Amino acid sequence: MTLPFPRLPTLLLVLALLLPWPAASAVAQDWAYHVRPGDTLWDLSTRYLKPTVPWERLQAHNAVNNPYHLTPGRTLRFPIAWLRVEPAPARVLAVRGQVQVSGAGDTSAAAQAHMLLPIGSRILTGADASVTLVFADDSQLLLRENAELHLDQLSSYGATGMVDTRLRLQRGRSSNRVTPARGPASRYTITVPSTTSSVRGTVFRASAGDDGQPASTEVIEGRVQVGNRHGQQMVAPGLASISHSPDQAPAPLRPLLPAPAIDEAVLRLQPLPLLAAWQPVPGARRYRVEVVRADSPEVLLSAHEVDSLRLQVDDLPPGQLRLLVRAIDEDGVEGHDSARDFTVPDGPPPPLTLSPAHGQSVNQAQPRFEWAQVAGAGGSVLQIAGDPTFRTPLVERRTRATRLRPPEPLPPGAYYWRVASLDPQAQPGRFGAPLALQVSDAPIDPGLQPERPGKGLLTLRWQPGDDGQRYRVQVDRRGDFRTPLLDRETTAPEVAMKAPWRGGDLHVRVQYIDDDGYAGPFSPAQSVRLPCKPCRAAGAATLLLLAL
């Protein structure tokens, strides 16, 4: 889908009217350079001036009497119009989800880390996607979900450190961390359909205004000049500028909603899954919860908007991370962040679970829980809880074995259980998905026969991936997967095969394949031991692969 672009004369007029430091007069300004030992006019001219500007003009402009000697510390002035101007493509720092980049000729490609984006590039993000761009002066922009951004101008003034970055946000939202300006020609502007935001070093968010909501600029640090041909505003930290139409001046500034108070009694940052909870904020219609990299907050790892006051995040990459929670008002304006830093260890994956099966009802007060052995793990930890958040586990036991019964009888009722692997230092990795379990005290009727899904079948199930993904599953005897017993692709997160007659170890691994054909790496193999008696029995075995 191609959206109509603003007419170029209108865009140029808006830019000319809005800049608080007149860009149109930048050509009449000078860039100042402090002479260093060993500098010469010839070297400085070669480094900074356009090839068409001779060094003699720089000598005359600065009234240098002796071109063979420059005093260290002296200030030389370079007219902006004389400076060398070079393309300065943006670089993709990080990608999450489906992000497309198009250029001249409507060519399109999936965004990838380290990709260079020239002037004229258009970036589109999907429903649960984001991309982080880095510009020539190390300014960063996070383009969020369902957004469209055009790179209208990306240039640098040679080696001066001054950069001209002009962007057009057609829809969606962006977060920006702009490096302080290094000279009079430095510029960073974002144009949305109704206004332009111009900055010289700050942290702010910009919204194009979608779904009937106004465009907004929310300033966290520094100051941002916002306006159109009907009016301008200087937005200070903690304030937001709202614009309902390009034919109207921006509305009066409003304060950002305060940061939500984190509910420390509920908050669980580790082990995963993360559980966040907070107190309500007056005036909030919903809340946005993000997880970012602590050392680079413009790299988004997880994002959710919710109406409730808590959220569970099941999966996150290892590293030093930061939880952000902010309130959103009725106009879609986002407020201040509550932040908590935490660490996700790079631990072993959760093991396969064998029994009880997900949703099974058992007639034992102390059922036996069994799981597979993850290669390199030093043990396992079993949790049993009355709710899937595991906020207050009823049972938490560590063991070096792969089977365990709860130490005390479980009263009849509904439960959830999960398992994590321990690394050699006894630190837990992430837990697998919660499995439902019903403990019943009803007497067993010997006349009832369990339903068998298939005689002599072995069924493997694993954690579902994203929408549109398919899976390749391999089952092998030796573990090298050179001649697997099973090598199959499926669109469902499960596969059934004939159960091997001979018992022993089976090794299982799964590969996730995106809808565009990109195949990720295989998961680490996990081993399952099949005893001979179940192998010979005319029954059905069911395994659940939780988090390969």
Helix (H) or strand (E) holding 48: helix 41-48
Does residue 15 sit in the same domain as residue 160? yes
Averaged pLDDT for residues 117-134: 96
Does residue 199 sit in the same domain as residue 242? yes
Helix (H) or strand (E) holding 11: helix 8-18
Which of 439, 473, 495 is at the close of a domain?
A: 439
Considering the domain boundaries, does residue 81 fall inside one? no
**pTM across the whole model:** 0.72
Which of 344, 366, 390 is at the close of a domain?
A: 344
What is the predicted pLDDT for the residue at 462? 74
| 50-68: pLDDT as tens digits | 999 999 999 999 999 988 8
Considering the domain boundaries, does residue 340 fall inside one? yes
| 94-112: pLDDT as tens digits | 999 999 999 866 789 999 9
Considering the domain boundaries, does residue 25 fall inside one? no
What is the predicted pLDDT for the residue at 450? 35
- CATH number for the domain spanning 484: value is 2.60.40
Considering the domain boundaries, does residue 318 fall inside one? yes
Does residue 358 sit in the same domain as residue 424? yes
Residue 466 above 80 pLDDT?
no
Q: Which range (4-18, 60-74, 106-120) has the least confidence?
A: 4-18
d(CA 485, CA 489): 14
Ramachandran angles phi, psi of 547, nearest 5°: -155, 60
- CATH number for the domain spanning 283: value is 2.60.40.10
Does residue 15 sit in the same domain as residue 159? yes
What is the predicted pLDDT for the residue at 29? 82
Contact 302, 290 (CB under 8 A): yes
Residue 457 above 80 pLDDT?
no
**Domain region containing 238:** 8-20+151-252
In DSSP notation, 491-528 reads SSSEEEEEPPSS-EEEEEEEEEE-TTS-B-PPPPPEEE
Considering the domain boundaries, does residue 196 fall inside one? yes
What are 317's two structure tokens? 């990459």
Considering the domain boundaries, does residue 357 fall inside one? yes
Residue 115 above 50 pLDDT?
yes
What are 128's two structure tokens? 């649960």
Residue 11 above 80 pLDDT?
no
Does residue 239 sit in the same domain as residue 162? yes
Contact 420, 402 (CB under 8 A): no
Three-state DSSP class for residue 459: strand
Averaged pLDDT for residues 105-130: 92
Structurally, the chain folds into a number of domains equal to 4
Label residue 395 exposed, middle or buried (CB < 10 Å: 0-12, 13-18, 19+).
Answer: middle
Considering the domain boundaries, does residue 59 fall inside one? no
d(CA 43, CA 62): 16
Which of 344, 366, 381 is at the close of a domain?
A: 344
What is the predicted pLDDT for the residue at 542? 47
What is the predicted pLDDT for the residue at 484? 92
Q: Three-state SS string across 528-544, please?
A: EEECHHHHHCCCEEEEE
Does residue 238 sit in the same domain as residue 158? yes
Averaged pLDDT for residues 180-188: 92
Largest CA distance in the chain: 111
Considering the domain boundaries, does residue 64 fall inside one? no
Which of 439, 428, 458 is CA-nearest to residue 354?
Answer: 458
- CATH number for the domain spanning 226: value is 2.60.120.1440
d(CA 353, CA 436): 12
| 393-451: pLDDT as tens digits | 999 999 999 999 999 999 999 999 999 999 888 888 888 888 999 998 876 444 333 33
Does residue 324 sit in the same domain as residue 386? no
Does residue 247 sit in the same domain as residue 283? no
